[in-house]
Chains A and B, each alone.
Chain A
Amino acid sequence: MSQPVRLTPPLSDEQVAALTAGDRVLISGTIYTGRDAAHKRMVEALDRGEDPPFELAGAVIYYVGPSPPPPGRVIGAAGPTTSYRMDPYAPTLIARGLKAMIGKGKRGEEVKKAMQEHKAVYLAAIGGAGALMARCIKQAEVIAYPDLGPEAVRRLVVEDMPLIVVNDVRGGDLYQEGRRRYQR
């Protein structure tokens, strides 16, 4: 396996285009959380001509609804949620400059097309490794939709968050390629 690529958001088109399905990535810096309920509100806000709760240009979104932080911690368990539920909203955000999505599970064709057209990538975090992922999260702060509880939009500061590129800007798809390699 090759050395991981280190990235710090905001990400540029060039940084994203240099990634290939199967590459390992370590992200450090500021990323934002959102699940389906938050995505719905963000897209509705954009449709009304309002500003999104954070700058989308170059941004990285992590599909996560963390568990509550026990005393003395910044966050509880914080692994990825299944990404297809964000598929109806993702193309709109990608068109507005979103550069990377972090989640688990397959994406729809519309999202893959948008990633190729506007240069964005889809990164997988290990599903179900919530306690491990929490270790990379150094700060967490709710910045929008607090009424959504675990689904509120949070700004996270992460350090060396371990990820793997699933969908790249050239149509590469690790879920398909990986499976083909080991299928019997």
Chain B
Amino acid sequence: MAALRTIEAAEITAAVARLCGEADIELPQDVRRALEQARDQEESPVGREVLARLIENADIARRERLPICQDCGLAVVFVDLGQEVHIRGGSLEEAINAGVRQGYQDYYLRKSVCHPFTRANTGDNTPAVIHTRIVPGDRLHLWVVPKGGGSENMSRVFLLTPAVGLEGVKQKVVETVEAAGPNPCPPIILGVAVGGTFEQAAVRAKRTLLRELGSANPDPEAAALEAELLELVNRTGIGPAGLGGRVTCLGVFVDIHPCHIASLPLAVNIQCHAARHKEVVL
């Protein structure tokens, strides 16, 4: 039997704290590049100005160590835990939540988690939303994805009738973007999952948001749908900040998965241009 590799819970906490801060302050380079491209392509003068200001905003945030956006998000954490890893000194979940608590404090991030009815703030941005997979190997891979409320509120899950097929899926994606309009801070990124079950579609849609903008999808069927959806969504005219323009969406990520013979689940996770995610391998 292979020896277990030990990772200290404190190490996980420190990594998560740092990732929270860096994610909220440093816009990923792929997103910045996509915003630059969008600015050069946009036909609307107001749209171009919005995009230029978003790039400026990202640069100010990075330089002055301020969050890109005041909505520093609910901390969504994806974990790929190698099955040969042994965590010592506390539970994985506690270690992650301690990291969120510390990161949101140390980096002056907004705490945006509350009780659903009383709306009383938990005060430290916990609990995090944690999605864990057990994978081969002796590594621990962590991704921190702070998710803002504005774009999350515009996301949708549909349990479609199989008869609507591919056309029905495309129509629902476009309808979701049109209904959202200016609310989720366009230009947006779309995470689309087709298949699976009710809950799996939503998680898979969110997981696609870890991909790099412009990266090729290895599944040719999904890649074709990505290109087509991007074209359709950018015909809506919503544009940067919803003020009208050609660039409504910077990229579409599609994940297609088998589902029940009676079902056609579709999840559309809308991500705003503040597409924050940071990862580390321990």
Contact = CB atoms under 8 A, between A and B. Distances in A.
Interface of A: 1, 22, 37, 64-70, 73, 76-79, 81-82, 84, 104-106, 124, 126-132, 134-135, 149-150, 162, 164, 166, 174-175, 177-184
B132 to A, nearest CB: 28
Contacts of B235: 183-184
Given A77-B66, A178-B46, A104 B108 contact: no
Contacts of A105: 150, 181-183, 242
Chain B residues touching A, range? 35 or more
Nearest to A174: B243
A103 B254 CA distance: 31
B109 A67 contact: yes
Contacts of B56: 129, 132
B258 interface: no
A84 B45 CA distance: 26
Given A132-B60, A149-B121, A150-B112, A81 B241 contact: no
Given A67-B70, A178-B44, A126 B54 contact: yes
B238 A127 contact: no
Contacts, number: 169
B109 A179 contact: no
Interface string B36-52: 00000001111001100
Contacts of A104: 150, 182-183, 185, 241-242
Residue in B108, B272, B273 whose Cβ sees the most chain A Cβ within 10 Å: B108
Contact of B244 (A65, A81, A134, A182): A182
B237 A131 contact: no
B191 interface: no
B209 to A, nearest CB: 16
Interface of B is mostly: loop
Contact of A76 (B53, B67, B183, B237): B67
Contact of B243 (A65, A129, A134, A178): A178
Contacts of B239: 178-179, 182
B64 interface: yes
B70 A77 contact: yes
Given A126-B53, A179-B237, A67 B108 contact: yes
Given A130-B67, A179-B236, A184-B235, 14 more contacts: A1-B49, A67-B70, A68-B109, A77-B61, A84-B183, A105-B242, A127-B150, A127-B182, A127-B241, A128-B185, A130-B61, A132-B53, A179-B237, A182-B44
A104 B237 CA distance: 17
Contacts of B238: 179
A129 B71 CA distance: 10
